[in-house]
Amino acid sequence: MNELIPRATAFIAQHGLWAGPIVGVLAFGESLAIVGLFIPATALMIAVGGLVGAGIVDPWWIIGWAIVGAAIGDWISFAIGRRIGPSAYRRWPLKNHRPMVARARLFFRRFGFLSIFAGRFLGPIRATIPLVAGVMEMDHRRFQIANVTSAVLWVPAMFAPGYFAVKTLGSAESITEAHLLGIGAIIALVTIGGTLIGARFLGRASRRRRPRRSPGSASA
């Protein structure tokens, strides 16, 4: 794994035309149910962000492909959930990841629409939330709004650590693995913290707006 990331980054730098499709496939795999757990897309996207910051690859070409790949990955996961239904939880490979699935189901039940958006930024449940939404038969239009919007924000967030590292240090050659990991960890913590705070605030706000039923309304 330690050799894969430098080699993939070098290949992308040398083959600019293929950079977009390669990153698109990585973002797709990262967003696909369960498969995303085994793809080191986050580290590679941080490294590609460094290439963007150094001017080695075209940013719009890369970002466009990555957004499309991420959105399609979640869409397919959602479609699988709607197609298979609750039995998906009892099938391989989900049955081998029951704690993760339970967290994703709880998160979706609590936050609904917002969980699709926020889940994109939460690594442990990123690849499972869309499938859970499909199983729970979430409205397709609402899902796609959250899916595409979150992909548009998530992709630049993944490129940002490498991009700003290059801009700060002056050149891609000056960046070490420690720089990337440090900057990436800080941005990831800020993103996750902000997402959780926003999710909690919006969840409370939605409950406050929900009209309370009077004791006699149930029997009316």
pTM: 0.74
Q: Copy the structure tokens of residue 42.
A: 């986050």
Could you tell me if residue 140 is inside a domain? yes
Is residue 80 domain-resident? yes
| Per-residue model confidence (pLDDT) at position 176 | 56
Number of domains forming the structure of the chain: 1
Residue 90: its pLDDT value, please? 80
Q: Which two tokens stand for residue 155?
A: 């992709």
State the pLDDT confidence band at 86, using cuts at 50, 70 and 90: confident
- Kindly state whether residue 165 falls inside one of the protein's structural domains: yes
| Domain assignment of residue 213, yes or no | no
Residue 185 placed within a domain: yes
DSSP letter assigned to residue 150: H
Question: What is the 3 state secondary structure string of 97-129?
Answer: CHHHHHHHHHHHHHHCHHHHHHHCCCHHHHCCH
Higher pLDDT, 200 or 105: 105
Query: For the chain, how big is the Rg over CA atoms in Å?
Result: 19
For residue 219, which amino acid is it? S
| Range in 11-20, 98-107, 190-199 the model is least confident about | 190-199
Q: How many CB atoms lie within 10 A of CB 95?
A: 11
Of the two residues 209 and 17, the one the predictor is more confident about is 17
Is residue 3 assigned to a domain? no
Q: In the predicted model, is pLDDT for residue 105 greater than 50? A: yes
Mean pLDDT calculated for residue range 204-208: 49
**Residue 36 per-residue DSSP state:** G
In this structure, is residue 87 part of a structural domain?
yes
Measured distance CA(75)–CA(72) in Å, rounded:
5
pLDDT in tens, 133-190: 999 999 999 999 999 999 999 999 888 887 887 777 665 555 555 555 555 555 555 5
Nearest residue to 199 via CA among 98, 121, 102 = 121
Domain containing residue 131: 9-207
Q: Around 6, how many Cα atoms within 13 Å sit in the side-chain half-sphere?
A: 7
Strands of the chain, DSSP E: none
pLDDT band of residue 55 (cuts 50, 70, 90) is confident
Q: Check pLDDT > 70 for residue 211.
A: no
* Res. 82: pLDDT tops 70: yes
Has residue 158 been placed in a domain? Answer: yes
Q: Are 74 and 36 in contact (CB under 8 A)?
A: no
